[in-house]
Structure 1
Amino acid sequence: MSAEIPAWDATKGCTAVGKHSDKAREVLLDAAEELFARHGIDAVSNRRIAEHAGTANHSAVAYHFGDRDELLRLLLTRHLPEMNRRRMELAAALPEDAEVRDLLACMVLPWIEYLASRPVPSWHARFLFQVQSIPSMSEILKSATVNNTEIESLIQRLQKALSHLPEQVVKGRSLVLGPMVLGISASYEERIQNGENEPNWAGVGYFFVDSCTGMLTAPVTHPDDFISFPNTPYLI
């Protein structure tokens, strides 16, 4: 029997960029995220970000963030504190021998709940979709997501729950899941903006949980015939 997952507390869905953040920095981050999502990372200049944020100071990005890498790092990490708190909350409610589905819910649902908490239009999933498509972003992405103890703890528990399957098969399947979840989330985010879908992020979240569970736990018919991937950072 799957453990019951506590309800999401919408009051925890606020963004955070650090104790020294201010309104000007937040406006610039929002402007950058939108432009990156719409046009790609390399196609958007710092000056264009400043203009989109409504400031006449074309050096505002350099003033507030120092350089482009720091701007991107903050865009990648500003949502992580509340997501990690949510993951800890969900994981704490599970038994030690939690099922694969419940462990995956702890990983996936905080990401989906964050997207659901964003105003429409939201841009975060599409921004991350742009990031993961650019090889030069890999080091920034890696530095922004290392030492995520909540994720690492859940991965260890998942590995234990899937220990009856070949390790490389589990690894290969796991590395398929991130791009799948991200790509569908980005597409759904766009369809909501275009009025093609009424927002139902909860349904999307549980669809992902069920689909990922099925992929990870499927029978292995050819244990030595699998697709291997290099190690990649976590996107959600």
Structure 2
Amino acid sequence: MGQHGDRVRQSLLDSAEELFATHGIDAVSNRHIAEHAGNANHSAVAYHFGGRDELIRALLERHATETKLRRTQLVAVLGENPDLRDLLSCLILPWTDQLASMPRPSWRARLLQQLRSVPSGMELISMMSDPLEDDLIQQTRAFLADVPPPVLAGRAWIMGRMVTDVCARYESLVQQDSIDPDWTGLAYFIIDAAVGILSAPVTSVGDFLSARTSAN
């Protein structure tokens, strides 16, 4: 595509990330994204990405290589018998390290928060594949084999939302200069909470967070 085309794509991605994070996925049009990027061609998103889903997929993928590399590095130094905290660290730290490396202001955490709030966004997130991440999740489930599956599924949902929402809140506070950023400290704060959520005693067993499905 050439250097000019690459610059235009990056400008559109930056514009989309900020607008989606600020206003929500469904409130932002492709034309609005192009205008915010300073592009006079209102069809620029379609031209450079093919469509809206492809744009969002490109947003999700553009930092994936760095995140996967960081996760690989963390897994490489795990001992033979990692505990729950070790496994969760390998899942959470690559994400917070990515956020720490981004220029200010950043919109990444708030983008993911907005994507998780709409079914189409969740579907695109679920399509992202990282075999090492999947393996870590399976090891975590095996470590928590005594927790009933529906309870573990519900706690995992809570943990996922917690990580996203806390990082989005922190990102916003950093942008406002309300705090001195310490993403590593925040990461271990989240990891502590995640260990507690997943391994807490079970006093009520049920599938409380899944929608009921009708029989065919």
State whether TM-score is above 0.5: yes
Aligned counterpart, 1:132: 116
Kindly provide the CA deviation profile for residues 2-22 of structure 1, in whole angstroms up to 9, marking residues without a partner as x. xxxxxxxxxxxxxxxxxxx82
Aligned counterpart, 1:104: 88
| Contact kept in structure 2, 1:175 and 1:229, CA below 8 Å | no
Task: Tell me which amino acid in the other structure corresponds to 1:48.
Answer: H
Indicate whether 1:229 and 2:206 are aligned: no
Give the distance between the partners of 1:213 and 1:172, measured in 2 at CA: 14
Match of 1:36 among 20, 39, 47: 20
Aligned counterpart, 1:93: 77
- Please, what TM-score do these two structures have when normalized by structure 2? 0.89
Gap regions ≥5 residues in structure 2: 212-216
Indicate whether 1:176 and 2:158 are aligned: yes
Task: Tell me which amino acid in the other structure corresponds to 2:72.
Answer: M
Task: Tell me which amino acid in the other structure corresponds to 1:166.
Answer: P
Kindly provide the CA deviation profile for residues 97-139 of structure 1, in whole angstroms up to 9, marking residues without a partner as x. 2000010000000000001111111001111111111123333
Give the distance between the partners of 2:206 and 2:125, measured in 1 at CA: 30
1:225, CA displacement in angstroms? 4.2
Aligned counterpart, 2:186: 204
| Contact kept in structure 2, 1:121 and 1:193, CA below 8 Å | yes
The structure with the greater share of residues assigned to helix is 2
Give the distance between the partners of 1:42 and 1:169, measured in 2 at CA: 32
Task: Tell me which amino acid in the other structure corresponds to 2:210.
Answer: F
Match of 2:46 among 51, 62, 65: 62
Gap regions ≥5 residues in structure 1: 1-20, 231-236
How many residues end up aligned between the 2 structures?
207
Identical amino acids, percent of aligned pairs: 50
Aligned counterpart, 2:65: 81
Indicate whether 1:26 and 2:10 are aligned: yes
Kindly provide the CA deviation profile for residues 154-211 of structure 1, in whole angstroms up to 9, marking residues without a partner as x. 0111122222332332222111101111111111111111111111111110001111
Q: Which moved more, 1:26-35 or 1:158-167?
A: 158-167
